[in-house]
């Protein structure tokens, strides 16, 4: 951003709005979620929630389940991101 005052640490509201709008447009062009994506997110959300509830009762196994669920959801997210 030329002339935005970033070198001396001063931001203007217009600079911030301009950057936020360009990021929003970039993300809107990349994000295309299908119904299947929503179902997978809901499924992993339920699994992570149940694993957290289980970790209150059985701490060691519960936290392992939380870690595994988050790991597999991240794997799904990376495969989805690199699919295009």
Structurally, the chain folds into a number of domains equal to: 2
- Shared domain check, 25 and 40: no
For every residue of 28-48, which 3-state class applies, written as one string? HHHCCCCHHHHHHHHHHHHHH
User: Tokens 């389940």 map to which residue?
Assistant: 65
- Convert the pLDDT of each residue in 1-35 to its tens digit: 455 545 556 667 777 777 777 777 766 666 677 88
Residue 18: which domain range?
Answer: 1-31
pLDDT at 55: 80
- Shared domain check, 78 and 38: yes
Q: Where are the alpha helices (DSSP H) in 1-84?
A: 13-30, 35-57, 59-81
- Convert the pLDDT of each residue in 45-76 to its tens digit: 888 888 888 888 877 787 888 888 888 888 88
- Shared domain check, 27 and 5: yes
- Shared domain check, 26 and 56: no
């Amino acid at each position: 951003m030329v002339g935005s005052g970033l070198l001396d640490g001063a931001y203007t509201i217009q600079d911030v709005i301009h950057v936020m709008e360009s990021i929003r447009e970039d993300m809107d062009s990349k994000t295309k979620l299908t119904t299947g994506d929503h179902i997978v997110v809901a499924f992993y959300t339920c699994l992570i929630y149940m694993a957290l509830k289980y970790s209150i009762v059985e701490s060691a196994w519960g936290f392992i389940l939380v870690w595994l669920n988050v790991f597999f959801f991240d794997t799904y997210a990376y495969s989805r991101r690199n699919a295009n």
